[in-house]
Structure 1
Amino acid sequence: MVPDSYGKLHPRLIREEHVSVTEEPSGRYLWHFVPEDPLPPEKPAFKVAQALYDLLVTYDSTDSLIVLQGDSTRANTGWKGGTHAHLEKMLGRKLFWSICVLHTYELPLRHLITSIDGPTSSDTGFTSPVCSLLSSVNEMQTTQSSEECQGVKISRRYRSISWSTCPLTSRWLTTAQSLVYMWTRKHGLTGKELNTLEILVKYCLQVYFKLYYDIKVHHRLEDGPSTSSRSSE
């Protein structure tokens, strides 16, 4: 709470990055921390690596550490200035990087959307003919029969899902769910735009969702090669 000139308290929102650290493969929680602010010319990734190194020292694990796991953001995986690279320099040796494949397999969907429908805008989200309708998908009327779904078979069980309770774990998973949901609605698309929606829905149902749940089930480190093999089939 922050007081104003009259002494009245007002709430203030403070945004912080919290980094959680777990031991793998057990998933046991070790610690979480807020990285220190970098001092020029330092980068935020360096401060995260520094905090991780201090944690390894605390747990006497600087010599035993073999694998680094994390998301595929550039802040983590940058070959020169990423957190992983900085930590390797601090340890004086190379480590095995285990990068989240859930994030990796979002990229083909993203590229498919941008190639056949259009790019995204950081300010307004989707501006393309098909995906720009995703924000209003909940207001669209439901089709009356499976025949109106025009070629892509979607069970009524899926169509009856309450959207507010769907698991929303990432932007692109949400996008894929919304595309399939829109196919069962009166979206008003025709011609080329309707064909674009059909292609995207088929990709989501036949490729993206399948890979997503394959990864969720087969999520151990040794499952990585077989998951990559299935993705190229």
Structure 2
Amino acid sequence: MVGLVTVGVDDDLVMNRCKVQRAKATLRQELSAEKFDNIMALFFDGRKDTTMFMKAGADLIQRQSFRKEEHISLIKEPGAKYIGHLSLTNSKAPNISNGIFPFINQSLCAVGCDGTKTNTGPKGGVIRLLEVRLKKPLQWLICQLHFVELPLRALFVFIDGKTLGPHQFSGEIGSKLGDCVNLPIVKFERVTTKLPNLTNDMQIKDLSTDQKYLYEICEAISTGIFSKSLSERRCGNLCHSRWLTLANSVLRLYVGTRTPSKNLKTLVHFILKSYAPSWFSIKIFNKCCDGSKNLFEFIKSTRFLDEKYKVVVEASIQRNGFFGHPENILLNMISDSRLHVREMAYKRITDSRRRTETARVIGVRKFTIPSIQFNATDYYDIIDWKRIEVTEPPLFKTFSDEQLLLLVKDGRKAGTFESD
């Protein structure tokens, strides 16, 4: 778009791309310079991008060059307030933790992030390194949506084979996903699903285009009614870091295949019975005090799988079920709607405090996920409490026994940070 600026018009009213970029840079600097003394919880998320910079050649002339950088945003909770940004050429855990450390102090109680090994490694992950430097345990609030994607990835790789790069798949199913949107809709076998009702306008608006597609295609396969507009929509670009679009493509391939293979049917059933219901349930119940319940419901939803597939999914859950740690389960229990569950949590927390007072504790406890009991009948029984050392949730370290007892009696929510 081209416009003319006449003489006498205030130039401040004229907007261009450079002015917007300068305004953004100024705002980032102001927010980064602001002092945050009492950060209770810090959430960080990053992605790799190609960044342009000027580089001097042998003739000393500055020329444009490009490099991959890790860009990490830091968010303070509660309140979801942006506090800073990191640009790192090396995305290893020590570099990330060193970049984050100047933003935090001893008031920090919890850290939230994706469940990558870089972030959650028990010895050298970002959170562990922050704990060691602060000389205190932190509440591990790992992204619940990222957790749900990992069993899908494990099952897909087991069924269809390994990937061939960031956007390519090697197996019979994966090799067909790129063109699945061009397939005409055929008569397909319905697969029932139980998606949560998204009745709240904010819940619907919060969904991305790919998430809305997943919701609608799941409903279409469940009801057998597939609209023309849905059949013509794109299901998202395939990428190994975005398994939601792979789920969309698998479902689109299914409704365009006259005689789907047993492997394709297995993936479709898993997506409709486990993956999608859990995904949208987490979008609604997205607080960290919901995490262990969400984990339990996901485990329950996988019980229909054949044993060989169940083993694959359970191995992924065991590796990545961070809300199966006693500190996170207790965070859920103290907020439970049932009084006897809250009282059980109170007793376990206070007993842990008494043991800590009498025992000689050396160093910061190591965060490890206990063996998960996959046949448990409630979320607080997904671990064997008698076989593990129970430590109190770091978010409750500043609570006295009396304050905890008030939470138990009132049934108020504890730990209401979003962790989806």
Q: Determine if the TM-score, normalized by the shorter chain, exceeds 0.5.
A: yes
Q: Which residue of 168, 184, 187 corresponds with 1:125?
A: 168
Determine the structure 2 residue equivalent to 1:200. 267
Alignment partners' CA distance in 2, 1:216 and 1:65: 26
* Structure 1 residue runs of 4 or more that deviate by more than 4 Å after TM superposition: 1-11
Measured in 1, the distance between the counterparts of 2:116 and 2:167 equals 22
Q: Distance in 2 between matches of 1:165 and 1:109?
A: 17
User: Percentage identity across aligned positions?
Assistant: 29
| Aligned counterparts, 1:1-233, within 5 A | 11-35=64-88, 37=90, 44-56=92-104, 62-122=105-165, 125-138=168-181, 140-143=182-185, 148-152=187-191, 153=221, 154-157=224-227, 159-160=230-231, 162-163=233-234, 170-185=241-256, 187=257, 190=259, 194-233=261-300
Identify unmatched segments of 5+ residues in structure 1.
38-42, 57-61
CA distance in 1, matches of 2:169, 2:149: 16
Q: Deviations over 1:94-138 (max 9, x none)?
A: 111111121111122122222333232337721111121112213
Per the alignment, in what secondary structure is the counterpart of residue 150 of structure 1? coil
Q: Which amino acid aligns with 2:188?
A: C
Alpha-carbon distance in structure 2 between the residues aligned to 1:25 and 1:85: 22
RMSD value over aligned CA atoms? 3.0
Q: CA deviation at 1:10?
A: 6.6
2:74 is aligned with what amino acid?
V
Contact 1:45-1:82 within 8 A present in 2 as well: yes
Q: Structure 1 residues 64, 169: closer, same or farther in 2, change over 3 A?
A: farther
CA distance in structure 2 between the aligned counterparts of 1:90 and 1:21, rounded to whole angstroms? 18
Residues 95 and 8 of structure 1: is their aligned pair in 2 closer, same or farther, counting only changes over 3 Å? closer
> Which runs of 5 or more structure 2 residues have no equivalent in the other structure?
1-53, 192-220, 301-420
Going from structure 1 to structure 2, the CA distance change for 1:8 and 1:36 (only over 3 Å counts) comes to closer
Q: 1 CA distance for matches of 2:280 and 2:159?
A: 25
1:14 shift after superposition: 2.5
Counterparts in 2 of 1:8 and 1:135: CA distance versus 1, 3 Å: farther
The 3 A distance-change label for structure 1 pair 85 and 2 is closer
- Aligned to 1:103, the other structure's residue is in SS state helix
- What CA distance in whole angstroms lies between the structure 2 residues aligned with 1:197 and 1:30? 45
Q: What is the Cα deviation at residue 199 of structure 1?
A: 1.7
Quote how far apart the aligned CAs of 1:12 are. 3.0
Deviation at 1:85, TM superposition (A): 1.1
Contact 1:36 1:47 in 2 (8 A): no
Give distance in 2, aligned partners of 1:178 and 1:99: 27
Q: Distance in 2 between matches of 1:165 and 1:133?
A: 14
Greater relative contact order (CA < 8 Å, ≥ 6 in sequence): 2
How far apart in 2 are the matches of 1:131 and 1:200? 12
Instruction: Look up the SS of the partner of 1:105 in the other structure.
Output: helix
- Give the secondary-structure state (helix, strand or coil) at the position aligned to 1:156: coil
SS in 2 for 1:14: strand
How far apart, CA to CA, are the structure 1 residues paired with 2:89 and 2:240? 27
Q: 1:197 to 1:118 in 2, by over 3 A?
A: same
Query: Higher mean Cα deviation, 13-22 or 65-74?
Result: 13-22
Greater displacement, 112-121 / 72-81: 112-121
User: Which structure would you say has the larger Rg?
Assistant: 2
CA change 1:85–1:142 in 2 (3 A) is same
Q: Which residue of 1 aligns with 2:358?
A: none
Structure 1 residues 203 and 164: CA distance shift in structure 2, 3 A: closer
Amino acid at match of 1:27: A
Distance 1:10 1:156, change over 3 A: farther
Q: Cα–Cα, structure 1 residues 135 and 160, in superposed 2: closer, same or farther, change >3 Å? A: closer
TM-score when scaled to structure 2?
A: 0.46
Q: 1:5 and 1:91 mapped to 2: Cα distance?
A: 45
Aligned to 1:40: none
Asked if structure 2 preserves the Cα contact closer than 8 Å seen for 1:159 and 1:184, the reply is no
Q: Structure 1's 25 and 160: CA in aligned 2 closer, same or farther, altered over 3 A? A: farther
Give the deviation of 1:221 after TM superposition: 0.9
